[in-house]
Structure 1
Amino acid sequence: MKTEMKNTIKLALLAFSMLLSWSCTDLEEKILDESLSGGALESDLVQGAVAPAYGMLPEFYRHTRYFAVQEISADEAILPYRGGRDWGDNGIYIELHQHTYTPVHSNVRQCWDYLTVMISRTVLAINVLTPLAETDAEARVFLAEVKGLRAFYNMIVLDLWGIAFQKDEAGELSTILRGNDAVEYIRTEFESVIDDLRTDVGPGRLTKGGAWALLARLHLNAAVWRDPYSTNFDFTTADMDKVIEYANLVINSGQYELSPEYFAVFDNDNHTNSELVFAVDQRPDLNGHNRMSYFSMSDNFYGNPLYPQANGTDGAAITSDFYQSWVQAYGDVDPAEADARFFWEAMVVPEDSCIAAEDFEVNRGIYRGLQFGLQNNGRRLPFIMCDDGRYKIGKLRDWRRAEANAYVDFEEEINFTPEGSDYNTGFRVEKYQWSKSSDDGRNKGEADLVIVRLADLYMMRAEAKLRKGDAPGALADVNLVRASRTARPDVTPPPLAEMTEDILFRERGFEFYWEHQRRTDMIRFGKYEDTWTEKTNSDVQRRLFPIPQAAIDGASDTPGYLVQNPSY
């Protein structure tokens, strides 16, 4: 049996190398290791078929890929041409934000390339596992997982481009599905695997809870995905009932808990945090990345005194519009003093003091104003030490500016003018804990990247209740999530008094900012055509991204197979 299995895998991997040709890109290979197998099956099977189906998720969830198309295209994040020198990238981030993206847009193409290869890998794994699953129980579990992954990847493709790929055999041409056909295909795929999924291998693998959660997300967005250009989405009672049903299954399973400390959900050791339902596994030695931590932070910011080469990059910031939604919600009270989700001063040290490396920690949440941190005499130079061997802490010098008093001092206003694009513009986000092992600020991430967590099940259930006319029920669910953040009682968010669609949309922003959801939420709540900082385009056809021109050209031998989305 073992020799037969190895020969099957070798033949499948040979076919897989040919399969990759239908998405041309230079992809960085990231493969999971023994974390999948636990020694239950031959490592050839895990490494050769199952691990590749998961293995590209960290790279897909990078700041310049899925994050960029979901957050920078929305009212939450903005990335100007910093100082006229950094993050210009031929205007691709400006195009994303202003909804002027085209079929040759780099970030959109990268997302397409990754997702099509990820779907191909699941198909290969399914072909390898299907005959083995007839006699091997563990192979049946892995088969269910990769089928569920195929549905999940297709769900993202449907959200971004309005299509899904139905493909069961590695050598066949995918069938392109749209609208209700795509929604129903993804639904039935998820439903078909639930019985074979496990409950005790998450959050980095797909479990029953993960499939239920993704089904809730599917039904919540089904009205949009069936008719993405509609002026009045039809949120049917049947769909909303399904959202509530699947949310209840996760909530009532007893497997998950809301985290008392909000930012613990995004800690380096969050793999064991019971709020996570499904996540991108980035435990040490799994080749993860720290880019969700370094992306927004100042070039003069260092997250670990042991690594003087590991700094931020002055990338994306929050828009003034998004910041003002916090201000408007709390009035005269500073949001940092009202809501545990806004900011956590994890490192409380006096100005011009000293700190030991083991005591150094990075503040979390939304950074505003004058910043303090590790001291040095220039970018990426050794840190200044105190006489007792600890590290000097003080005002962060901005080494990109010549003035002696140039400090990192974040301003609220940020835009695409030269003044609004400077290095100090825009409040920044540090939601994920800075890696303790990243020696260049970018690599070796340890925190699992959230795909879905328990709070979202409550919030999705709240939205379904609200769309059915049950505002008190929706209010109770949202207030339950708010009240759960009790680790710092002085900033546990107070209960809301009422619930409307606008309040729920605002609350989703507070709970899920920087979590790859904002564009999808804006479309569902009818706000993607609104005006915000540096964005006035109200074309409803921008709800979907253009299919990359390279993919259209590559399918030209099959007329009518891959049709470009309208307006591109």
Structure 2
Amino acid sequence: MKIKGRLNIQALVLGLMMFSCSLDIDETDSLITEGNSDVFNGVENVNAAIDNLYNNLSAGNPSQMNTQEELYALSEVTTDELIVPTRGTDWGDNGVWRTLHTHTWAPTHNFINQVWNNKNGAVLRATEIIDPLSNASAEQIAQAKFMRAYNMWVIMDCFGQVPFRNATDGPDVIPEVMSRQQAYDFVVKDLEEAIAALPASQPQSPTKTRAVKATARLLLARVKLNGEVYKGSYGENDLQDVIDLVNEIEAEGYGLESNYFEIFKGPTFESKDVVWALSTDVGSKMWNSLHYNQQELIPNFDKASVNSGGGWNGFATLSEFYDKFEGPTDNNSLGAGQEERRGYTQTLESTNADNEGFGYGFQLGQMYGWREGKAVALTTRTNEPLIFTKEFPGLIGNNEVTGMRLLKYSPANGAYTSGTVIFRFADAHLMRAEAMYRKKDVGAALIEVNKLRAMRANTPPLASLDDATLLDERGRELYLEYIRRTDMIRFGVFKNARGFKQAGDGHTDLFPIPASALLSNPNLSPNPGY
């Protein structure tokens, strides 16, 4: 494979002076093409190329879904769900986490650049597979079109503008740039064509790492539900299309499941609620929040490899998000009567060798562990009780215990268990309810929402439905599933003030186009406000 890149040296020097940052050009840049000669002549091994598209999400280098950075950081740390406070000197990282929470990021922010480069690179590689010169089969093209649509949707959702090059464009051709409306139309077309040729859905298959018809239908429903954001207004049939698409997914055998936290136990997922999952490990989504003295120590055949080093004591959640769930205000212990999705912390009586003190959901209060054959109350590094608190003093100046910790995936399932859920039917079900709501059929929407709540223990039905209640319900069901930022923007509240974040003017609904991309592609323009 030959990889070529061209960059105007004068622009590079000027850019380095203006932005005081390095500008590395690699195979993910928008001015890179690849092929077996100077002119693209088709992908030699299409199956391997498709495998690479999926593998780069699961365990790529740089990593994507198996990290706390990249899209996870942009989707969750920018919202009311997660906060990464500085604890002494820990998690300072030159403000990279704090600027996400306060919406004060810059065009040189590393995680923003990662998403831009990784997703644009994937769009190009999918386009090469789709090109007639690659002689791909109809199903291979459908897989590539789904992956192109998914990655282009992320770019459209995060940045608005979407650069695009044809596979046969030479390295000297500057990519064209689609508007959000143009990208929306392109993604919709790719997904509609992919649905026709993707394999039939298998809702109870344990392996769901490749797209099937339901996977593309769910993404298409998501795109259309956000049509007002992407296009300025809904099309005549957009909301009904969402309802119809979810109906089709349900008709294929997908549906709601009870036992909420069981849904997320990998590495395989036979639950009919899981539509798309990746094999990537979930270690970074567990240990990034847990304390240094919380460890998974007991090796056995039911758990992944042992973590004797403990957590990283970074990520936490805000009390205002916790308070959206029903249950006692200051007690989330097992059996306290809280709604199921809020999870629980283990008690001294419930801690045993199997769970080692790890619970699910919001970790609040005294933490316990299993040490030398018995349950013990854990302590901090200074031998104070390890009691996670609801409140923070601020984004800086924190000690080891400020802030509740949030576990969608738990070390109770293994120290480094694998399997990350990307799409769930519960999301589709709530999208259908929201489409009904936006079509002014509030009664039908409320019935749909309460169908889901009826599947969750200690979760009584709602009496009414409005914008805030519907958004809160999505947060309660779908937290840490890569969708909170998109939801908050659709409901118009992403810019609002919340804990340690001031109200904004709305320009942060889009991330800035990376500085390096603006230098290399003059067809791009800075997003408003940057």
Pairing partner for 1:427 from 385, 398, 404: 404
Pairing partner for 2:438 from 452, 467, 472: 467
Pairing partner for 1:457 from 428, 451, 458: 428
Trace 1:342-421 onto structure 2 (pairs within 5 A): 342-344=342-344, 350=349, 355-356=352-353, 360=356, 362-375=358-371, 385=372, 391-399=373-381, 401=382, 404=383, 406-416=384-394, 418-419=396-397, 421=398
Q: What letter matches 1:369 in structure 2? A: G
Pairing partner for 2:95 from 81, 91, 95: 91
Structure 1 residue 482 corresponds to structure 2 residue 453: yes
2:337 equivalent in structure 1: 337
Other structure's SS at 1:566 match: coil
Structure 1 residue 81 corresponds to structure 2 residue 86: yes
2:109 equivalent in structure 1: 105
How far did residue 289 of structure 1 move? 4.7
Structure 1 residue 564 corresponds to structure 2 residue 526: yes
Q: Which has the higher helix share?
A: 1
Structure 1 residue 505 corresponds to structure 2 residue 471: yes
How far did residue 270 of structure 1 move? 4.3
**Cα displacement string for residues 513-542 of structure 1 (whole angstroms, at most 9, x for unaligned residues):** 111111111111011121101100412111
Q: TM-score, normalised by structure 1?
A: 0.78
2:245 equivalent in structure 1: 246
Pairing partner for 2:292 from 299, 303, 317: 299
Q: What letter matches 2:378 in structure 1? A: L
1:231 equivalent in structure 2: none
CA contact (8 A) 2:512 2:526 kept: yes
CA distance in 1, matches of 2:462, 2:404: 26
Distance 1:494 1:437, change over 3 A: closer
Structure 1 residue 536 corresponds to structure 2 residue 502: yes
CA distance in 1, matches of 2:121, 2:286: 26
Q: What letter matches 1:187 in structure 2? A: V
Other structure's SS at 2:269 match: helix
Distance 1:125 1:223, change over 3 A: same
How far did residue 183 of structure 1 move? 0.8
Distance 1:397 1:348, change over 3 A: closer
2:190 equivalent in structure 1: 189
How far did residue 415 of structure 1 move? 4.7
Distance 1:252 1:293, change over 3 A: same
CA distance in 1, matches of 2:245, 2:185: 16
CA contact (8 A) 1:19 1:171 kept: no
Q: What letter matches 2:518 in structure 1? A: I
Runs of at least 5 residues in structure 1 that lack an aligned partner in the other structure: 1-13, 28-43, 134-139, 228-233, 283-287, 376-384, 386-390, 439-443, 486-490
Q: What letter matches 1:184 in structure 2? A: D
Other structure's SS at 1:325 match: coil
How far did residue 88 of structure 1 move? 0.7
Bigger drift between 107-116 and 211-220 goes to 107-116
Bigger drift between 270-279 and 147-156 goes to 270-279
**Cα displacement string for residues 298-319 of structure 1 (whole angstroms, at most 9, x for unaligned residues):** 1221134232534211121111
Pairing partner for 2:159 from 158, 161, 171: 161
RMSD in angstroms over aligned alpha carbons?
2.7
CA contact (8 A) 1:176 1:562 kept: yes
Distance 1:239 1:19, change over 3 A: farther
CA distance in 1, matches of 2:6, 2:195: 29
CA contact (8 A) 1:275 1:455 kept: yes
Percentage identity across paired residues of the two chains? 29
Trace 1:110-189 onto structure 2 (pairs within 5 A): 110-127=114-131, 130-133=134-137, 140-169=138-167, 171-172=169-170, 173=173, 174-189=175-190
Structure 1 residue 446 corresponds to structure 2 residue 446: no
Other structure's SS at 2:310 match: coil
How far did residue 130 of structure 1 move? 4.5
CA distance in 1, matches of 2:328, 2:364: 17
**Cα displacement string for residues 55-109 of structure 1 (whole angstroms, at most 9, x for unaligned residues):** 1213322212211111111122111112x21111111111111111110111111
CA contact (8 A) 1:25 1:113 kept: no
CA distance in 1, matches of 2:93, 2:330: 39
Pairing partner for 1:218 from 213, 220, 223: 223
Distance 1:361 1:368, change over 3 A: closer
Q: What letter matches 2:448 in structure 1? A: D
How far did residue 395 of structure 1 move? 1.0
Distance 1:160 1:435, change over 3 A: farther
CA distance in 1, matches of 2:412, 2:526: 41
**Cα displacement string for residues 163-184 of structure 1 (whole angstroms, at most 9, x for unaligned residues):** 2244441545543111221111
How far did residue 248 of structure 1 move? 0.9
Other structure's SS at 1:159 match: helix
CA contact (8 A) 1:50 1:142 kept: yes
Distance 1:65 1:465, change over 3 A: same
CA contact (8 A) 1:52 1:121 kept: no
How far did residue 330 of structure 1 move? 5.2
Q: What letter matches 2:237 in structure 1? A: A
Trace 1:298-317 onto structure 2 (pairs within 5 A): 298-306=291-299, 307-317=306-316
**Cα displacement string for residues 224-257 of structure 1 (whole angstroms, at most 9, x for unaligned residues):** 1224xxxxxx345521111111111112222x23
Other structure's SS at 1:223 match: helix
